[in-house]
Amino acid sequence: MKKAVCFLFALSLLVLCACDALPAEPSEEASLSFSVNSIGNYVVEDGSIYVPLDDGTLAYVFLPTGDAADEIVLPSSIVVPASFNGKTVTEISNSAFYAVKDVLESVELPDTIRRIGNNAFKDCKNLREVNLPDTLTEIGESAFENCEMLSDVVLPSSLKNLYRLAFRNCKSIKQITLPCSIGGEEIFAYSGLESLTIADGVDKIGYMTFCEAPLREVTLPSNLKTFATNVIGGCPLESLTLNDGLEDVDLRYLYTTSVKEVVFPASVTKLTLQNNKDADQIDLYFEGKAPDLDFCQLFSESSANDFRETAYVIHYHEGAEGFTSPTWNGIPAEIW
């Protein structure tokens, strides 16, 4: 009995220390403010821990209960209440379900949740179902990372912030509509994502966002201005039509995909390319004038030869400003 009590006390400290609110921009260096003396501020009932927030609402954590180690309850399904003792539950705290990560299969969230914290569901390997309410505005760093059984995720239009690694390695997610701009890294990297729609109004996609996902279909919005480095690196996508309005396109690591052709709108003014000597040739079609070109050298290759003469073929309209034939910036070029 004594050992069980000590175990629960230590485990509660571990989970509670993970419940600090996220800073405006998540950081690995963010300090934790909880201490043993602050435990009296928390309310615990039936395994649910309610953490008071500065705005008078509550954050939620689940901690299994029991009088002895062999009696501790590890539920596979949890319903998070909308309120407790007259106060609204608005957050799922950092590492909220760590204690049940090996058994949790479904979670029902109330329509009051505004934020899901860092690592909230991380490593919940059996999690299959979780609803994301229309009140949700923020999903924290690594919130669903490694939830390999999670599928049918619908990101609400209310979402404003989606941080790095949020759905990394979620192998069962096949389709997603992205409702907000994202700057974080690898948000859907190594996921099972095959089809992607990016909603109108989104103007930024972060570094390696969909890297190594089995993407075969991408729909880009007219508002997108920047296509960042390695967004689709390692994807089996065979063609890519970029949206009108896009200005800065970084296609480093395009050679790691299955893309055979890219169509550039007339709005593109800056292009970054890269390749290696063994990659298949890619056709680049331009609707407008020649963009400013930066050809990045691979670290592993000699600076004497960047293989641009075999990496790409440029196709441009007759009379397009800035293009030259038979080569443009050392790349074979022809009129189409």
Q: pLDDT tens-digit profile of 148-195?
A: 999 989 999 999 999 999 999 999 999 999 998 887 789 999 999 999
> Mean pLDDT across the stretch 60-89?
83
Q: Is the CB of residue 154 less than 8 Å from the CB of residue 132?
A: yes
The angle subtended at Cα 117 by Cα 116 and Cα 118, nearest 5°, is: 135
List all residues 6 or more positions away from 45 whose beta carbon is below 8 Å from its beta carbon.
Answer: 84
- In which band, very low, low, confident or very high, does the pLDDT at 237 lie, cut at 50, 70 and 90? confident
298: in domain? no
For residues 153 and 165, give the distance between their C-alpha atoms in angstroms, rounded to a whole number. Answer: 15
Cβ neighbors of 140 (< 8 A, separation 6 or more) are 22, 26, 94, 115, 116, 117, 118, 119, 120, 163, 166
Q: How many domains does the chain have?
A: 1
DSSP class of residue 114 equals -
Percent of the chain with pLDDT over 70: 82
Range of the domain at 80: 1-25+34-39+48-166
State the pLDDT confidence band at 308, using cuts at 50, 70 and 90.
confident
Residue 255 pLDDT > 90, yes or no?
A: no
| pLDDT at residue 6 tops 70 | no
Q: Are strands 138-139 and 195-198 parallel, antiparallel or unpaired?
A: unpaired
CATH number at residue 4: 3.80.10.10
First to last CA, the chain: 80
- Reply yes or no on whether the pLDDT at 275 is more than 80: no
The residues, ordered by sequence, that sit 6+ positions from 178 with a Cβ below 8 Å of its Cβ are 155, 162, 196, 197, 198, 199, 202, 205
Share of the chain above pLDDT 90, in %: 53
pLDDT in tens, 23-35: 344 443 332 233 2
Label residue 280 by pLDDT band (50, 70, 90).
confident
Q: How far apart are CA 39 and CA 63, in angstroms?
A: 14
Q: What are the residues facing 138 on neighbouring strands?
A: 115, 161
Residue 11 lies inside a defined structural domain of this protein: yes
Q: Is pLDDT of 75 > 50?
A: yes
pLDDT at 302: 55
The answer to whether residue 333 sits within a structural domain is no
Mean pLDDT of 203-218: 87
DSSP 197-208: EE-TT--EE-TT
Question: Is residue 204 domain-resident?
Answer: no
pLDDT at residue 291 greater than cutoff 90: yes
Q: Which residue intervals of the chain are DSSP H helices? A: 2-16, 308-311
> Tokens 């331009």 belong to which residue?
286
Average of per-residue pLDDT across 234-262: 88
Confidence of residue 66 (pLDDT cuts 50, 70, 90): low
Residue 335, domain member (yes or no): no
